[in-house]
Amino acid sequence: MKRIPFIAGNWKMNCTTSEAVSLVEGIKALISDITPEQVEVAVCPPFTALHRVAQLIEGTYIRLGAQDVFWKDKGAYTGQISPVMLKDVGCTYVIIGHSERRGRFGVPDPDMSDELLKLFGDNDATVNRKITAALSHGLKPIVCVGETLSERERGLTDEIVRRQVIGALNSIPTESVENITFAYEPVWAIGTGNVCDAYEANRVIGMIRGIISELYSSELAERVRIQYGGSVTPENIEELALQPEIDGALVGGASLRPDSFSAIVRTTMSAKQRIGQK
Ligand code: PGA
């Protein structure tokens, strides 16, 4: 089974509209020859830049993603954005359950007490609601899972990831699962420069595929894409992309520069070609 590799840029809370314009114009110029049969590419700007970026990528192969979604279509939910709105603005993808929204930062932030961190408050149940709502409106979720440093140190990695994957897929019908991309993002690797060892990332991602296979079927599990995320750079993407289970990356910091983001896209393409996965 040849899954098409998928590179998504998570811009997080970066870029005013004009900054988003120059970033996306730069990316467009550098990957205009890449087709979605080689590598699929998505950018996930903040909500405020979605509309402008959607206009600029029209007619290209670059797809638009949002960074979060609420599960209601509309109503009295001040500050929330619905799947209907994301569809309307031109999103194909939406990141759901990022560890920064689950309220567990990889890098300790002196401005954010534990109490404040929990304010974003995503958990397995809300992540599952968001996935269900996104799918019902034809959005493709990129679902983030991953353990914290202390969970890894206590040997709980597999247990935590398993719980998050099973929680995410609760009541999701077979025919929708293929529209979900998972991103294995160990919290300790996000924004820290401590990329996960490629073999270990491959092992955990293989385990996630195993869980999907248990819950549904091995045929379906072979079709679901699972990215790695956490301190991905042009320098370390090759080793990651050479792993058979890793179907690309969710890229934070390195997605904020056209040169580094496009280098990650190109290196992924050539690595997958080398191992015959593309
Ligand atoms: P990073 O972020 O690449 O800056 O580590 C990845 C992510 O949070 O998705």
Which band of pLDDT confidence, cut at 50, 70 and 90, is reported for residue 276? confident
Domain that holds residue 184: 6-102+118-146+155-274
187 within domain boundaries = yes
94 within domain boundaries = yes
In this predicted structure, the answer to whether residue 171 has a pLDDT above a threshold of 60 is yes
Give the model confidence (pLDDT) of 209-251 as tens digits: 999 999 999 999 999 999 999 999 999 999 999 999 999 999 9
* DSSP labels, 231-276: S--TTTHHHHHTSTT--EEEESGGGGSHHHHHHHHHHHHHHHHHTT
Is 178 catalytic? The answer is no
107 within domain boundaries = no
Mean pLDDT for 23-41 is: 97
Residues 94, 139 contacting (CB under 8 angstroms):
yes
pLDDT of residue 138: 98
Ligand 1 contacts CB of residue 95 (under 6 A): no
- Whole-number Å distance, alpha carbon 76 to ligand 1 midpoint, is 32
Which band of pLDDT confidence, cut at 50, 70 and 90, is reported for residue 2? confident
Any bridge partners for residue 42, and if so which? 8, 63
CATH number at residue 49: 3.20.20.70
What values do phi and psi take at 118, rounded to 5?
-75, -10
CA distances from 249 to 40, 123, 126, 212, 238 (A): 11, 23, 24, 19, 11
How many domains, in total, are found in the chain?
A: 1
109 within domain boundaries = no
- Whole-number Å distance, alpha carbon 110 to ligand 1 midpoint, is 19
- Whole-number Å distance, alpha carbon 83 to ligand 1 midpoint, is 23
Q: Measured between alpha carbons, how far apart are the two ends of the chain, in Å?
A: 10
100: nearest Cα among 232, 249, 230:
230
20 within domain boundaries = yes
1 within domain boundaries = no
266 within domain boundaries = yes
Ligand 1 contacts CB of residue 65 (under 6 A): no
Give the model confidence (pLDDT) of 60-84 as tens digits: 999 999 999 999 999 999 999 999 9
Closest atom, ligand 1, to C-alpha of 254:
3
Q: Average pLDDT of the chain?
A: 94
| CA–CA separation, 189 and 204 (whole Å) | 14
Is 51 catalytic? The answer is no
227 within domain boundaries = yes
Residues 208, 224 contacting (CB under 8 angstroms):
no
Any bridge partners for residue 183, and if so which? 144, 227
Its pTM stands at: 0.96
